Amino acid sequence: MKKLACLIAFMAIVAGVSAQSGFDKKKLNGFTLHVYTTANPLGDMCYVIEGDKKLVILEPPAFKDNMAAFGDYVSKLNKPVEKVITNYHAAGFSAYAPELFVMVEDMPEFVKGDVYSGMMANFAAGFGDAMDQSDFIPKEVVKKNTTQKWGDVAFKFVPGVASDFPAASILIGDQVYYMHFTPVTGQHISPLQISGRNALDALIAASEQALQTNARLFIGGHGITVADRNTLESQLAYLKDMKQVCEQTGTGDEFILTMQMNYPEYAETKNLTAVAGKLYQ
């Protein structure tokens, strides 16, 4: 866990995001999902779930320029914000009234701990005044394995990837499934998600859990787009193959070569080197 958080902190400072900033929306049964691709250095994704009369914000932006753009977009929807869910990302607290914020159980304590505090200190050093550094912990806490109804939309909170922060995956309106990282295919998995063999197993289990729902769209706190079931199924098959290759090879070099042979068309081959360093440490 500590290694994962530190890696996120350092990678965020040196890694760019190839996405373009912008908004998209997906009309679903009973609500509209608004997707904001921030294109900031962390690759953050932020969401508005629009019900008939009210809005729910999921993972508000952390960078001030994103906060301004997001706030302007939300205001044009002309509906009041009922809740602001800060799940994996404790950020954007200056943009909304304190009583609107909710956090998942275990996260308030984790946010106060050395790992998350250290990560935020690295962010402050790297990004300075560009990032909102408001220090606030929501008083309202949502328990995992419960369902809340906000904006006339059901939000089912379930435990997220076991090796990640102690936040939740969220099934929204039985149609959209939120995870920390948006599923991808066509490129090798980020080392931010694979901190070791236990993390690989945990990500496989969490992906299988997501596919057991009725969701047809899969979103994340980091990414550049929205994924469908085919994308998640493809990523899961890739992860299971990675596990098998890991079990059948004795060194990181063998692992990298085999994965390159199995997925010659996949981009981000540099990720394999970082992942191998985690799997064979």
Mean pLDDT by 10-residue block, N- to C-terminus, for the chain (281 residues)? 44 51 96 96 95 98 97 98 97 95 96 90 90 90 98 97 96 98 95 94 98 98 95 98 97 97 96 95 86
Contact residues for 33 (Cβ-Cβ < 8 A; gap 6+): 25, 26, 47, 48, 49, 50, 172, 176, 217, 219, 226
Q: Is residue 30 within 8 Å of 8, Cβ to Cβ? A: no
What per-residue confidence (pLDDT) applies to 134?
86
Tokens in use for 30? 């009973």
Beta bridge partners of 23: 36
Single out the residue of 20, 17, 69 nearest to residue 48, CA to CA. Answer: 69
Q: Is residue 101 within 8 Å of 76, Cβ to Cβ? A: no
What per-residue confidence (pLDDT) applies to 18?
58
What per-residue confidence (pLDDT) applies to 20?
85
CATH number of 2-279: 3.60.15.10
- The pTM (predicted TM-score) of the whole model is 0.93
What per-residue confidence (pLDDT) applies to 140?
96
Q: Tell me how far apart the terminal alpha carbons of the chain are, to the nearest angstrom.
A: 15
